[in-house]
Amino acid sequence: MAKIKLLDEQTINKIAAGEVIERPASVVKELVENSIDAGAGRILIEVAEGGKRFIKITDDGCGIDAGDLPLAFQKHATSKIRDAEDLNSIATLGFRGEALASIASVSRSVVVVTKTPGSISGSYLRLEEGRIVESKEVGAPQGTSITVWDLFFNVPARRKHLKGAEAEAVHIADIVSEMAIIHHDISFELFSGRRTVFKSVRSSSWDDVLLRLFGLKAARGMTPLQAEGPGWSLAGLAGDPLAARSSPDRIFIFVNGRAVSSRALSTALREAYRNIIPLGKSPAAVVSLKISPELVDVNVHPAKREIRLLHEQEIAQALTAAALAALQEHARPGGREQAGGIEPLAEGPEEGSAEDAAEQSGVDSISSRGQLLPSSASLSQSCAQRTLPLVDEGIGTGEPCDQCAGSEAQPGLKILGQILSLYIVAESEEGLVLIDQHAAAERIRFERLARLYRSKRIRQELAEPVAIELSPSERIMLSTWQQTLEEIGFEIQPFGGDSFSVRSVPALGRRLESAEAVHDILRDLFSSGRVRPDSTSRDEVLKLLACRGSIKSGRELTLGEMKSLIDELYRCDCPQTCPHGRPVAVALDRALLERLFARR
């Protein structure tokens, strides 16, 4: 009996869907790319339950002919290429003709309503489990609307491994925001349930979108960069080194209008910042590469996220040089104003002007001369922030934790100094003691925060509120974390558009007095996923806060600071380990030292 068989069409489509459709955000990406290729000027995205239950994309593009509509859901049916030669000159975002068939094969139902210019009526098509079950003429506006119901209903393994609705909605918001930057001539609007998550206006530049995503302070600190070579040209913006973040989520790289992940280009960009920003930080930057289609291969990844460039090294070196030049220009007095930076935005054809957009977002307005004018309603960020006094009743809680029950305070230590800007060296009666200053500070701060949390005194009000700008995905996570944030001391209220007012923070002292510090803490919390209501989740949050607010490695301490740190450490209930379980101190007793020096 033959062991090799040809697979049926439905199985083939499911296999292809596994490669192309990874999660609801993949569906949104594929359908929005089709809308862009169709010449849309406005794209509306609606999702429910993070796209797992419902996804609807509506555009005002050229629509699909009635005769082509059933064919559009056939495998490898496309209007964008004709033969293999066309693969060498791809000028559209989509070209394989497999997205619609793949989406339909893993969805309970797909409904399409479309109308082409000049047509008297529109076309309606409904598919169930990838099969056409209804087709008819309907009244419809020009463009296309595609609705997807119950994604992965017939692929339980894939559906099981999807994240929660909020996390999936974050992925969708990131995809839409990314597309809105490079396709700024199209207005995008994203709804999650009944809530508007993201909205952009049509504009001749990406300035409006960057103002919404980055916030005014970061956006106005960006400096233009450009370079060109045979068959290619680079344009973009290099962010202020002082606005560097702990995560790389503000590096956007586009090739011929397509968002891509390019290790070579992102490494080249970071190289320009190598001796300017701290290790572990990432800049904010936007890079758009326009290149002749024959010099790039986009057909190397199922989701078309990765590409191959023919002159990759040359382009990467040019990007590094262009970014360095932009940073040097930024560093000169008045350099940003001379370079241009974020310019005043042109009026959108339908949604209004950028001044309206800025006003709606709660950011400063832009004068007719292009100068950024401070808004009377904006919160004070230029002043040095100070937290109001908070009385500290000591470190210990009086209730030793289980693993440390019965432990006694360490006898007095004689501090000898510090090595590697990380370890405190001390002498005890038994020998030598090495103390990890970061682990010690973490333990002290964790127990202090835990005590304040239990006594409901963890909130520390700011003398003056700070304003932060949150991206669409961060706003989704904020709504999920709202209750937990309030419990651990944050008071965050909407301040118009993408701006939020922070009036109180956890009691970490001056380490949480700036908008950047607050934003970094929130980003770390959000990256841990959906918050759980149990005590374990609370402890993890307090551990993160303790780590964020503690003395770091690389900081040189005075003898007085070292003594104070050790005194506080041995007043803790569990001084042996940091909150994550790592040892705080290591003792080298007399016997070990003698063995090391071959004295016994």
Instruction: For residues 435 and 356, give the distance between their C-alpha atoms in angstroms, rounded to a whole number.
Output: 56
Q: Residue written as tokens 């497999």? A: 98
- The H or E element containing residue 270 is helix 263-272
Helices (H), 155-262: 156-160, 165-182, 207-214, 216-220
Instruction: For residues 239 and 222, give the distance between their C-alpha atoms in angstroms, rounded to a whole number.
Output: 4
**Strand, coil or helix: 341:** coil
Give the length of the chain. Answer: 600
Whether pLDDT at 155 is above 80: yes
- The H or E element containing residue 441 is helix 437-454
Instruction: For residues 520 and 510, give the distance between their C-alpha atoms in angstroms, rounded to a whole number.
Output: 14
Whether pLDDT at 385 is above 50: no
Please, are residues 151 and 27 in contact by the beta-carbon 8 Å criterion? yes
222-263 pLDDT, tens per residue?
A: 889 999 999 899 999 998 887 777 777 788 999 888 888 888
Whole-number percent of the chain with pLDDT over 90: 18
Q: pTM (2 decimals)? A: 0.66
Mean pLDDT of 353-363: 36
Tell me, what amino acid is at 364? D
Instruction: For residues 176 and 71, give the distance between their C-alpha atoms in angstroms, rounded to a whole number.
Output: 27
Please, are residues 432 and 588 in contact by the beta-carbon 8 Å criterion? yes
Tell me, what amino acid is at 169? A
Closest by CA position to 26, among listed 266, 307, 304: 304
Decide which of 304 and 140 is more confident: 140
Say which DSSP state 334 is in.
T
Tell me, what amino acid is at 203? S
**Strand, coil or helix: 85:** helix
Phi, psi torsion values for 110, nearest 5 degrees:
-130, 130
Instruction: For residues 494 and 499, give the distance between their C-alpha atoms in angstroms, rounded to a whole number.
Output: 6
pLDDT at 85: 53
Q: Residue 2: CB partners within 8 Å, gap ≥ 6?
A: none
Per DSSP (E only), the strands in 325-388 are 365-366, 372-373
Mean pLDDT of 508-522: 69
Instruction: For residues 511 and 518, give the distance between their C-alpha atoms in angstroms, rounded to a whole number.
Output: 9
Res. 396 pLDDT band, cuts 50 70 90: very low
Instruction: For residues 87 and 308, give the distance between their C-alpha atoms in angstroms, rounded to a whole number.
Output: 13
Whether pLDDT at 395 is above 70: no
Helices (H), 99-164: 99-105, 156-160
Please, are residues 370 and 207 in contact by the beta-carbon 8 Å criterion? no
Tell me the domains of the chain and their CATH numbers.
9-199 (3.30.565.10), 222-340 (3.30.230.10), 402-586 (3.30.1370.100)
Name the β-bridge partners of 254. Answer: 259, 288
pLDDT at 58: 95
Name the β-bridge partners of 252. Answer: 286
Radius of gyration for the chain, computed over Cα atoms and rounded to the nearest angstrom:
28
469-512 pLDDT, tens per residue?
A: 887 888 888 877 878 787 777 888 887 777 888 888 877 665 55
Closest by CA position to 178, among listed 202, 203, 198, 204: 198
Mean pLDDT of 134-141: 92
Q: For 95-109, 131-145, 359-373, which range has the lowest pLDDT when averaged over its residues?
A: 359-373
Instruction: For residues 582 and 576, give the distance between their C-alpha atoms in angstroms, rounded to a whole number.
Output: 9
**Strand, coil or helix: 547:** helix
Closest by CA position to 38, among listed 65, 17, 71, 19: 65
24-35 pLDDT, tens per residue?
A: 999 999 999 989
Averaged pLDDT of the chain: 75
pLDDT at 387: 41
Closest by CA position to 273, among listed 334, 228, 331: 331
